[in-house]
Amino acid sequence: MLVIAPRISFDSSKCLNGFTMVELIFVMVIMGVLGAVGIPRLASYDSQNRAIAEQLRVNLRYAQRLAASRNRDVCVAVTATAITFRMASSAGTAVACPATSVVTPYGDSGGTLDIVLPGATTFSPAGSFRFTPSGTLRNNAGGALTMRTIALTHSGGTVATMSIEPENGYVLSSIS
């Protein structure tokens, strides 16, 4: 049996679909410029906020341990743009925010644990609490607290949350 296929002809003058080489190169150049300028900026905000979140977690743990080791209250004051850490001037006295700045454990001269945020990044909710020498979490009047959570947000989106357990001052972090 003999099958005859229909003859297909190709007429290039009728085929005008697609992009020219100049158009493709132009689009690739624009994408390259946007990628070289825009993506590093977005990545730097993300890594900067992750670094702030990690530093907050470390500082909260250090403040809790410092309260226990020095037998002094350590107050943590949260505002929208900063978190400050203050320690009672002597053992056995309650701390009223603000008091003496808590010095970093890294041997920096004059360095403190305080965190000040850049631009569009904020902490919430505002308020203060303290770590007691027993490692527990209290409000500034000395009353017990429930789980205390601090959120770090950037341009409306939550970057990280730090939850502090009231019974032992342990810091649980969730960094997105």
Beta bridge partners of 137: 131
**Domain ranges across the chain:** 21-175
Helix (H, G, I), strand (E, B) or coil at 122: strand
Residue 107 half-sphere exposure toward CB, CA atoms < 13 A = 0
Are 100 and 89 in contact by the 8 Å Cβ rule? The answer is yes
The one-letter amino acid code at 33 reads V
At residue 107, the pLDDT reads 45
Pull the structure tokens for residue 5. 């296929």
**pTM of the predicted protein model:** 0.66
Averaged pLDDT, 111-126: 77
Show contacts of 93-100: CB within 8 Å, 24+ apart. 94/130, 94/142, 95/130, 96/140, 97/128, 97/130, 97/140, 99/75
Higher pLDDT, 41 or 169: 169
Tens of pLDDT, residues 65-104: 888 888 888 888 888 888 888 887 766 665 566 555 665 5
| Euclidean distance between CA atoms 69 and 134, whole angstroms | 9
Architecture per CATH, domain 21-175, reads as: 3-Layer(bab) Sandwich (3.55)
Count of CB atoms within 10 A of residue 60's CB? 24
53: alpha, beta or left, given left = phi > 0 and alpha = psi -120 to 50?
alpha
